[in-house]
Each structure stands twice: as structure tokens, then as C-alpha cells.
Structure 1
Amino acid sequence: MSDRFDCGECKESLYGRKYIQVEDVPHCIPCYDRLYANTCQECKELIAHNARELFYEDRHYHEHCFRCFRCDRSLADEPFTSQEEALLCNDCYCNEFSSKCVACDKTVMPGSKKLEYEGSAWHENCFVCHGCEKPIGAQSFIPDKDHYYCVPCYEGRFAPRCSHCKKALATGGVSYKDETWHKECFVCTGCKIPLAGQPFTSQGDTPYCVKCFSSIYAQKCASCNSPITGFGEGKYISFQDRQWHQPCFKCSRCSVSLVGAGFFPDRDQILCGDCNNDQEDQ
């Protein structure tokens, strides 16, 4: 009597039948499919041992079930992508989700290099300078209405020139008396410190910092002998050939403020009415 050769699961004889061996244990085809075959993600049926099986992101498919969600085209040998777990062929994905290049009006294919700016998209080679027509790529650019320029072209065409160094101002700068400067070029005529963001004044068309202007041009207060600059406590009183800071304009004897009040000059002094009357009574 010959040895038995049975299926390890259902114990039916395997003589004359196809079988598959798993870890040295033979299985008939029905038992193998029931125990080990994967379930198709699409149709939910078992993928038989002799069927072509496709695997994507931990999911299994029959070959004929691996299809585009939109057009039903087979994806077995086609490029595809996944959008919210739905499989899409490249054509359907591009029609539904890809942007169009605003320069050539063609689809920017998934995975290709593109540039985006303010909601618009370009193929990398389509995003070119309106001036020199060379691709801008990852370089800096400057928008002007519906056109885009590389920095050299924009500076050559539109940028104002610094009044000091005569070079282009691409961004920022200082404007004073209808002229423009680079911030680093707009400096005090005296000490050369930058004036951008600082209080300054001018003599004619020449800018000065407060310190230099005070030492060169400002009148001196007749009381404290400090410059009257027009900055900070800048209000002043002028009488004949003398000037005073407003807080310094006080009676020379009693120190009462004379701002807005009558006063009497007495040689180098100024007196309030009371002190002047006292002097006359003496």
C-alpha cells in the first residue's frame, strides 16, 4: 500500500492534483487560496494563486481591478498617482488637479519643475525675464504690472539712480527734495554719519546731522549759550539781534517766564514788569 499524500488542511488526497507547499506542508489549491490569498481592495474578492496581483500602499488588487477612478483605464502598466485614496491616471490627474502654465497654457505635469507666484504657475523654462527673455529660475526678480524682470534688467530700465553714487536703487532708499539716495549714501555733509531714520536739517540743499548743523550754523541762546536747532524744545524767541530757547526766555532777576508776557530790555538783561518797576523805584 502506497504512502498517503494529503492536503495539510482538508486532508484530501493530492495524487493527480495541483498543490502548493507552504513551510514543507502541501496544500490543495482551494485551501491555499482560502488561507493565504489576499483580498482585492476594489472588488473585495480573493486574488487566486494563478492571478496577476498588484500591490500599492499596503493594498492588493487584481490586475483588471487596478484602474483609474475617473476614466476606468487600466493602470497596470501606466504611470498613475493617488488622490485621497482614489487612483488616477496622469491624464485625469492633470485635468483635475494640475495647474496650467500661464506662459504656454500647457499642463504642468506632476513631478516636473515649476515656479509659482501669487497664484500663478509656470514651467521652469517658461518663467523668463520680460527684458532679456532668459529664464529667471531661482534668481531674484521684480514684478512690474503683468511682467517680470531679472534684477539687472529692471535696474537698467526702471530703477531710479542714487544722487550720490549714481547707481540704481532696486528697493528702499531715501527720498529728499525730489532726489533719491541709497540709505548708506545719504550722510551728513560734515561728519558723514548716515542720516536715514535720524533727525537732520539742511543748509540750502546740503544735509547735516543736528550736531554738525548746530556747531556750524545754529544761533546761540542768549541765556544758556547752547545752539537753537529747531529740534526737541525747538521753539524760540527772537528780539533784535538776540535769540532764546523758549524755556530760557525768563526774567533775568526773578526767573519768571516771559513767554507771551510783556518784558523790558535792560542792556544785556530782560526784565518782567514787576522787576522793571522795582528798578525804577530805586
Structure 2
Amino acid sequence: MTNSCLSCHYCRESLFGERILRDDNPYCLQCYHRLFVNICEDCKQAIAWDGKDLEYKDHHWHEACFKCATCACSLSEKPFAVKDELLMCTECYSNKYSSKCYTCKKTIMPGARKMKFKGNSWHESCFTCLCCQQPIGTKPFIPKDKENYCVSCFEREHDSQCQSCKKAITSGGVTYRNQPWHEECFLCASCKKQLAGQQFTSRDEVPHCLDCFSSLYCKKCEACSKPITGLGGAKYISFENRQWHSECFTCRRCNISLVGQGFLTHKDNILCPACGRDEV
């Protein structure tokens, strides 16, 4: 054995007593302690070479000093968290700093998945649709009255249903006789033309476009044979179960307007008094 093996690698003093090897080099206890032992973060005392040294992020503790700053329980065999350089057990950390679930009111433990919305937090399993109780997760949802709904449940519970197709109306729509319709579903009962944004009328509460309504239900003018709708306050003349547009109620021979004037009839013709006398 060489002399170097019998002397301290640092102070070169002879090693006839107890010694410690580090990186295959021998050290006396005094040099080893001065050079290599760590200082405990809690008590600020050296951690003896033969003591248990607990390390976290380049900091060291005696096993007895590695404890929760709040409840003082040992953390040597427990999960822990660090806040402002203080060690805390997960229970104390959660009670002091972790969010509480809006639904179950229990602590959301560090590292657990959680959902956040408008300042509130939920366990992932607690963030559910009010109706179907299924977790919403990352799917789209709709909040209403401090509750959350998946889209399909919200549409079923809260949106109006079209009187025609019975599906939810999520935007826009038409109201007719206090009933909701999709714009594309609100159609003329006869020709199926879309009525949203168009003039229309109805018979027996059934909507029709003006053309279909006139063709189906309006009387025809004796002069021009076109329908007399009476819509928009339009005036017409009625005589012996026959009707005329006001502008069509003229003398058959001279075409003078007879609205508000006296007239004569000859066979099926309407005549002014002068033309009527000539016919006679």
C-alpha cells in the first residue's frame, strides 16, 4: 500500500483511524466534513456524513427536518409541494392554495386535471351538463343561469322548435301566430316558395304567397279578369255578385270612370248614363 493511500487526499495527514472514500480518494473525517457535507435548509446545521441527506432542487435537509411547514408532518415518504420556498404536504397546500370545485366543493389537488370558466374551477369529472350529466370536457357548451349545458341538451331544453321540422332554432327564425319557424321552413302552403321577408296572407291560418292566395281564393275582376285581393287597402266595386277593381269600373263604351257616379246596365255591360241612353 502506498503512502498516498494512508494519508488524507486533502490535508495529507496520516489516516490510521476512520476514513471516508470519495471518488476513490481517502479523506479524514474532518476534511470530508468541511469539504463535502451539506447544510440543512431548515436547521442550518451540517448533515453528518453518516446521516440521511434528503435533496430537492439542490437543497438539502436532515430527514427529521424534511417536514411540512404548516402541520410539521414528515415528508420523507409523502408527496409534497413547494410554495414560496416552503415545503408543504399536499393536504396543507391544497387547503391553503388549491382551487375548490364549484360543484362538489372539494379541493382540486395539485396536478389533477381541472376545468376553469369565468373564475370558477371544477374537477374534470364534475364539469358536467346539467341535463344529461355527462362530462363536458373540451366539447362546446352553453352556460345559462349559472349552469352549463352541452349543445344538444341546450337546444332541446331551451331553444325554440320549428313548427315545421321540429328541430331547434338556434338563430334567426320567423314567428307566425306566436309559433316559431326556421326561415327556410316558413313556406307558402301551395307553391312552397319561402315567405320570410316577403308579403303573404293566410286563409284558415295557413300561409300563402300573394300569387297563390289570389289564384285560389280571390274573385276576378269583371273587366280585366285579374284577382281582386283587397290587400293594402285597395278599393273595389261590387254589384250584383260581380266585382271590379276601382280603376276597372268604367263605361263599357267610352271608358269613363264610373266610381262614385251613376250608371246603367245593358245586358252584362256597365254604361255611363249618356251611353246607356244611346243603347236604349
Q: Counterparts in 2 of 1:1-282, with a 5 A limit?
A: 5-15=6-16, 17-162=17-162, 165-169=165-169, 171-175=170-174, 180=180, 185=184, 202-204=199-201
- Counterpart of 1:202, as a letter, is Q
For 2:33, what is the secondary structure of its paired residue? Answer: helix
Shift of 1:24: 3.9
Summarize deviations over 1:180-221 as a string: whole Å, max 9, x none: 5557x389989x89x8xxxx55345789xxxxxxxxxxxxxx
Query: For the residues of structure 1 that align with 2:25 and 2:68, how far apart are their CA atoms?
Result: 39
Query: For the residues of structure 2 that align with 1:3 and 1:122, how far apart are their CA atoms?
Result: 69
Paired residues of 1:173 and 1:181 also in contact (CA < 8 A): no
Query: For the residues of structure 2 that align with 1:148 and 1:3, how far apart are their CA atoms?
Result: 80
Paired residues of 2:94 and 2:107 also in contact (CA < 8 A): yes
Normalised by the size of structure 2, how large is the TM-score? 0.59
Paired residues of 2:174 and 2:186 also in contact (CA < 8 A): no
Paired residues of 2:162 and 2:168 also in contact (CA < 8 A): yes
Shift of 1:111: 1.7
Question: 5+ unaligned residues in a row in structure 1: which ranges?
Answer: 208-240, 242-282
Summarize deviations over 1:198-255 as a string: whole Å, max 9, x none: xx55345789xxxxxxxxxxxxxxxxxxxxxxxxxxxxxxxxx8xxxxxxxxxxxxxx
- Counterpart of 2:171, as a letter, is G
For 1:8, what is the secondary structure of its paired residue? Answer: coil
- Counterpart of 1:159, as a letter, is D
Query: For the residues of structure 1 that align with 2:88 and 2:182, how far apart are their CA atoms?
Result: 54
Query: For the residues of structure 2 that align with 1:206 and 1:59, how far apart are their CA atoms?
Result: 84
Shift of 1:121: 2.1
Shift of 1:115: 2.0
Paired residues of 1:6 and 1:14 also in contact (CA < 8 A): yes
Query: For the residues of structure 2 that align with 1:29 and 1:86, how far apart are their CA atoms?
Result: 32
Shift of 1:86: 1.8
Paired residues of 2:9 and 2:26 also in contact (CA < 8 A): yes
Query: For the residues of structure 2 that align with 1:26 and 1:75, how far apart are their CA atoms?
Result: 34
Paired residues of 1:143 and 1:149 also in contact (CA < 8 A): yes
- Counterpart of 2:172, as a letter, is G
Query: For the residues of structure 2 that align with 1:31 and 1:182, how far apart are their CA atoms?
Result: 89
Query: For the residues of structure 2 that align with 1:19 and 1:175, how far apart are their CA atoms?
Result: 94
Look at both structures and tell me which one has the larger radius of gyration over its CA atoms.
Answer: 2
TM-aligned CA distance change 1:51 to 1:161, over 3 Å: same
Question: 5+ unaligned residues in a row in structure 2: which ranges?
Answer: 202-206, 210-246, 248-280
- Counterpart of 1:96, as a letter, is K
TM-aligned CA distance change 1:3 to 1:121, over 3 Å: closer
Query: For the residues of structure 1 that align with 2:79 and 2:41, how far apart are their CA atoms?
Result: 19
Percent sequence identity is: 40
Summarize deviations over 1:31-83 as a string: whole Å, max 9, x none: 01111222222333322211111111222222222221222222111110112
Paired residues of 1:161 and 1:168 also in contact (CA < 8 A): yes
Paired residues of 1:79 and 1:90 also in contact (CA < 8 A): yes
Query: For the residues of structure 2 that align with 1:58 and 1:172, how far apart are their CA atoms?
Result: 59
State the partner residue of 1:225.
none
TM-aligned CA distance change 1:25 to 1:123, over 3 Å: closer
Shift of 1:120: 2.1
TM-aligned CA distance change 1:61 to 1:175, over 3 Å: farther
For 2:168, what is the secondary structure of its paired residue? Answer: coil
For 2:161, what is the secondary structure of its paired residue? Answer: coil
TM-aligned CA distance change 1:14 to 1:119, over 3 Å: same
Normalised by the size of structure 1, how large is the TM-score? 0.59
Paired residues of 1:116 and 1:122 also in contact (CA < 8 A): yes
TM-aligned CA distance change 1:168 to 1:14, over 3 Å: same
Query: For the residues of structure 2 that align with 1:146 and 1:186, how far apart are their CA atoms?
Result: 33
Equivalenced residues, count: 202
